[in-house]
Structure 1
């Protein structure tokens, strides 16, 4: 039972059972009629690797790998949104419960004014031990960016690891461009998104390379409860409960994986890097969840060659080695651009 639950919460399509894998292989080889109750059939339908043919009973459509990836990516994004909603519902429940002695009962404190929000951020920034992650889906004024730049440079000089996400529109604001150039030169990581991400500050919440470690730290998030737009509310939450901080760190990581790197220029990465035919084969192998050894065998090269080529792809896309989710998203963007260029040439 625990293994089944773990499979449902893992990222992407979890490993298939031998029965489902065998049936999928047969269908890929041309098997069309699959009676109900066939071992593995229900699992393939649940994983959305196949779809029922509504015009022909007990016949199914095998989805292409690109469609499988898109469906799984969309499912993961929905899961993230549901996680955020659960966190906020918990926060609202905590706020509505009778208080006994402390406004931080259970590791949650409501910040009722902009002054309280700023005080929480200042205090958290002062106590940074290792890292700070921020996401700001709002445009910043020149005055704010100047103050922020000096604080961020001071933290970077102390060896603090720094990540932040801004709107794509920041790329066209001279004062935000100047800030990005200054902090990335000192080792900060900056990315941008068109929108649709959550405003938050996480201090000492990131444990890179060790996902099983107990996360410590705190988070300041905007008040997302139903009502007028939360970006203009000037209220928020200070979160110190380790479990909730861990959840928020996972939400931030998902946003980070979707964002595009920025070092101060105007261009936004579009997935248009120059890929060789071998690069494309490696991409397709990874999307099919093949091992590096299997990919090397298909290409007729040794394992070291595949590893080196994969490392070059990560560097070319400015991605963290091993970040296969972002790599898949980059390849999807690349394919979309290829299709767009082909359509233009045929028009």
Structure 2
């Protein structure tokens, strides 16, 4: 009960009640009424009618700080309503008084036994006063619990659907980091492949153990009528185990081609499931890891990328004669020249062309000697200019290029000014005396 709803008279009356076991309204009037009020004794003695106009004014209002009869009646009703006073049954305290008094409403008690009142411990009063509210809260809590249980009963269905959606998303793209698991998945997809297998394998020749693992699986697919197309890099032609594998599968109907650069390592089974080499957050390849792709749009993109590589690739010959070897070597050197002009590092060029870094550096050294270049970048630019792939507008600074040799420039067919001349050597594709190209 807020403080402003408790009257001062009720507080004085409760303090009076707390000092005794029980009291009557008349006793409260006697104790709390004005000491000089002549109507107070009469009221206390008679305990009857206390209507306005009798006993010295309306309700014997407080004089000298006392509490009038009417105020006592109102305070009594206030405390009873708040549960701070309780009625004591007749004879419960041994008094058994039967005199008139002021009722809880301030009216006369008549001939009935005078009501006696006792203070109620405030915490007990609070418990009693709050009991109905607590009951309403309890019922509201029960309703909340029922509503919660009803709504949460739908949770299993939602969670099952969410789990299925998560499985569907994870099924579209799945990262496998264990090499054994990757090999097992490839074997499984190969066994279930019915129409076509597309393979793009950069990096030059394949390892012998990899080829031995693949040959039996590939022969089974070819025997089932599965079409197989594979793209390697040109350097794979010089790898004897890879050439032997190609000869064996092409005899059964497989098609194999090679390309200089721009391959992405991947496999596509029946144009439905693809595997690509996985890379970490820094872009470096994850050893032995693969990303499984089942999302149709991504698989279609992978297939289109393979078809572009296939269209620009050349058939893989089972035997490589001198003329073909020179042609391939010249193609590799042209690719090296282009990458040198782009400022690509040796190890990156080697990786992109599927050769060892040592072999790549040997090719670069031969190119530099052939064009008389002092730096890798200059070698790429001069060789490209000699073959018509670089314009004079992009010539390197004059102080970084060697002095042009007119005779050599004429032999190279440059003749386009200082930027297009080749100093001290042959154009790209030429050979220094006594040396032959090597893949």
- 1 or 2 for the larger relative contact order (CA 8 Å, sep ≥6)? 1
Query: What TM-score, normalized by structure 2, do the two folds share?
Result: 0.35
- TM-score (normalizing by structure 1): 0.44
Larger radius of gyration: 2
